[in-house]
Structure 1
Amino acid sequence: MRPKTSQALTSKVLLLGVFIAFLFLFVLRSSISSSKENPTSAPVLQTFAVKTSNNAIEEAEAKSTNCSPSCNKIPRPLAQALLHYTTSTITPQQTLKEISVTAKVLEKKSPCNFLVFGLGHDSFMWSALNYGGRTVFLEEDEAWIEQIKRRFPTLESYHVKYDSKVNQAENLMDVGKGPECTAIGDPKYSMCELALKSLPNEIYETKWDLIMVDAPTGYYEEAPGRMTAIYTAGMMARNREEGETDVFVHDVNRVVEDKFSSAFLCQGYMKKQVGRLRRFTIPSHRDGLDKPFCPE
């Protein structure tokens, strides 16, 4: 048998344990009831996260609502060019590789001033690639200008009359070697027979960043040929006050385009040839009139 003192102690310990357990259950129950009655006792971080998420959604919706009608649209000229070329069965005369040569230069320089000898099926493309700049087309056929204007009224084009013929090319090459043709100056007032002098005044007054010679017609003996266009493009580049001009000549597989671009745009200024297209980069000669016509 255990002594009576030991039994009494055991009873006291047992009663104390039951009391503590009861007290713990009471406190726990009170805490749960308080949490249910007072929602603000939820964790602050969770509440903040929910509010932040809701605010973000509201701000996004507000931005979408306040956006102007045109903020997510491509410019109209680019949209028109896209529609035209995706629905047309007529493709530009230049190949993709040839077009890419000029397009890469435009990517760096546009918006800029771009002068194109020739108005054709690729004109809308050149204007779109120079979006925000000024692209001007010079064309020999007045009827063709009117036809293109009806389809693309935003294109800026002017009629040009050429007095030369392909069968005169050899004689004009000899003329171009004379001192009156190598003197730097405004082509409009040049004494050189190769210079185009009847273009609109603004053509001479504008500082052209790019010039494309893809006209006039030059594939038969009585055609105007591109002798004067190539020469005038080179003189415009040399006569600008400062900087340099990229000049492109297409159809260099033909005799006139090959010889005249080499002679008057200069082999030393040629940067690249891809297919039938050559690119020349001609610096201003106004800041150094002692520069040779072509680099040595």
Structure 2
Amino acid sequence: MKTGAKFIVLHHGAPAGPSHRAWLFVFVLFFIFTFAFTLFTTRDAAARTSAAAENSKSSLPNSVFDALLHYAALNASSTGRMSGDELSTVAAVLRRCAAPCNLLVFGLSHETLLWNSLNHNGRTVFVSDSAYLVSKLEEKQPSIEAYDVQFTTKVSELYDLIEYSKGELRGECRPVQNLLFSDCKLAVNDLPNHLYDVAWDVILVDGPAGYSGAAPGRMSAIFTAGVMARSKRGGAAETHVFVHEFDRGVERVCSEEFLCAENLVETKDLLGHFVIGKFEDNRNRVGFCSVSASSTVPQNSI
């Protein structure tokens, strides 16, 4: 009996696919690569950002600072300009001021661009009673921050205002207060709100005009500088306040009353330099000065 032939059919099976472990390994490897790449690029970007931030806070290079001051001093003999010694006195404080430095200037003058440049990467704000001059400055120098305010005082009212302020030392004209809400006749309270929160390091009073009895004078500017220095929160414990044309009656009398002779550290030509500490605890302080000013400047010298 013959048995039938048997055919054995051989065929290739489907190739075995990669195991789940292999796929998991590939996924983990991809995740690690992506994480490492993101980490290194983020750190590099953060380092560049930090370096840029540090550079933005850096002071003006000494060579540039000195050159600006030198060329400004060359024209210092012109009428209405600060002398070379006066410029150097203010500049020395700005140079020492840790960047960024907060500088507030009352008045627009020949030195406006100089102050803005010397306070490189700091905040410089100018205040003027002339809306026209502020507008022209913003038009020509849009990067400069300037505001116009209304001064309601007159040079001829000096002694009446001094007596008024003495009667309001515990009230509206106290040395520590938020000027934004002050009703003191000497307070500059119509600046943009955020400026009252700035811890000013340097305040320069070089305006408004005070050359005649009808001119607004610098009584309000000096009073406001004195209050800002004593009331500031944060920042350096002391504020440098400069008063230009310190030889005139208004400037000298108001400086004695609100900046105080005890805080006068130097005078250079027509510039008075005061260093005023903020009042950390003012519960026992009534006046601006430890010793009340006499205010005995003859009225015919104003």
1:134 aligned partner, one-letter code: R
Post-superposition Cα deviations, 1:150-174, rounded to whole Å, max 9, x if no partner, equal 3322211011111111111110011
- Quote the offset at 1:79 in angstroms: 9.6
1:99 aligned partner, one-letter code: L
Aligned to 2:91: 103
- Quote the offset at 1:183 in angstroms: 4.7
Distance 1:90 1:183, change over 3 A: closer
Aligned to 2:133: 144
Distance 1:75 1:133, change over 3 A: farther
Question: How many Å separate the matches in 1 of 2:159 and 2:259?
Answer: 17
| 1:153 maps onto 2:142 in alignment | yes
Distance 1:223 1:87, change over 3 A: closer
Number of equivalent positions: 224
CA contact (8 A) 2:128 2:148 kept: yes
Distance 1:135 1:276, change over 3 A: same
Give 1 or 2: higher helix fraction: 1
Gaps of 5+ in 1: 1-72
TM-score by length of 1: 0.68
Question: How many Å separate the matches in 1 of 2:72 and 2:257?
Answer: 38
Aligned to 1:208: 200
Aligned to 1:222: 214
Structure 1 ranges of 4+ moved more than 6 A:
73-92
Aligned to 1:57: none
The one of 235, 250, 255 equivalent to 1:256 is 250
Post-superposition Cα deviations, 1:85-137, rounded to whole Å, max 9, x if no partner, equal 99999786110101111111111104200000011220110011110100000
- Quote the offset at 1:147 in angstroms: 2.1
Q: Look at both structures and tell me which one has the larger radius of gyration over its CA atoms.
A: 1
The one of 151, 156, 160 equivalent to 1:162 is 151
Question: How many Å separate the matches in 1 of 2:120 and 2:288?
Answer: 33
Aligned to 1:16: none
Gaps of 5+ in 2: 1-60, 292-302
Question: How many Å separate the matches in 1 of 2:71 and 2:252?
Answer: 35
Please give the residue correspondences for 1:1-296 in structure 2 after superposition, counting only pairs within 5 Å.
Answer: 93-111=81-99, 112-178=101-167, 179-242=171-234, 243-291=237-285, 293-296=288-291
Task: Identify the range of structure 1 (206-215 vs 282-291) with the bigger mean alpha-carbon deviation.
Answer: 282-291
Aligned to 1:14: none
The alignment's C-alpha RMSD in Å is 2.9
CA contact (8 A) 1:110 1:133 kept: no
Identity %: 37
TM-score by length of 2: 0.67
Question: How many Å separate the matches in 1 of 2:191 and 2:94?
Answer: 24
- Quote the offset at 1:145 in angstroms: 1.6
Question: How many Å separate the matches in 2 of 1:139 and 1:151?
Answer: 16
